Amino acid sequence: MKYLLNGQEVSREEWLRGAPGITPGCPPAAMTDREFLEGHCNGSQFEKTPHIGDLYARQARAAGVDPKGKVYKAGLARFPGDPQAWVSGRGDVERICRERGWHAEGAVKVQGRKFHHEPVDLDESLVEAEAGSGAGEEVKEKIRKKRRPPWSKKHGVNSKVV
């Protein structure tokens, strides 16, 4: 019997010992489109909500996308029923993420668009209107922190996409 390890023919003992990063006696894990789409067949993803599946499929066909043999990935949808969210494998997911500049980590790895962080201050007229006349700087700073956009609170700085 012949054994292959990293594309080379090896003895049974060598194969059982394995190579760095390979569990002895076990083939490396695969991630084909079959594994990626595992558990999704014959529209099973919409089994509990067939009316939603039918609606999304109609929207896809109306946009020129044939959903037959494809899986709807809600994480790719820009809106409910987005025809581009129907994929037939990892290649479709990668293509869509690259087109949109989205980052993906997992079964599909795509480096997303880079963000440039630049200070963005709250308009002072809004601060003044909320604080009222004669308010001190401490009160105004509390208002600025409270009204800062959620994405700037998360990172501790004001940011915007370039």
How confident is the model over 50-68, as pLDDT tens digits? Answer: 899 899 999 999 999 999 8
Mean pLDDT of the chain: 77
Q: Where are the beta strands (DSSP E) in 18-105?
A: 71-72, 86-87
Q: Is the pLDDT of residue 105 over 80?
A: yes
| Tokens describing residue 128 | 């003044």
| Tokens describing residue 20 | 């760095």
Q: How far apart are CA 74 and CA 30, in angstroms?
A: 24
Note the pLDDT of residue 83: 94
User: 114 phi and psi, to 5 degrees?
Assistant: -85, 145
Domain ranges of the chain: 1-30, 33-100, 114-162
Rg of the chain on CA atoms, in Å? 26
Note the pLDDT of residue 60: 94
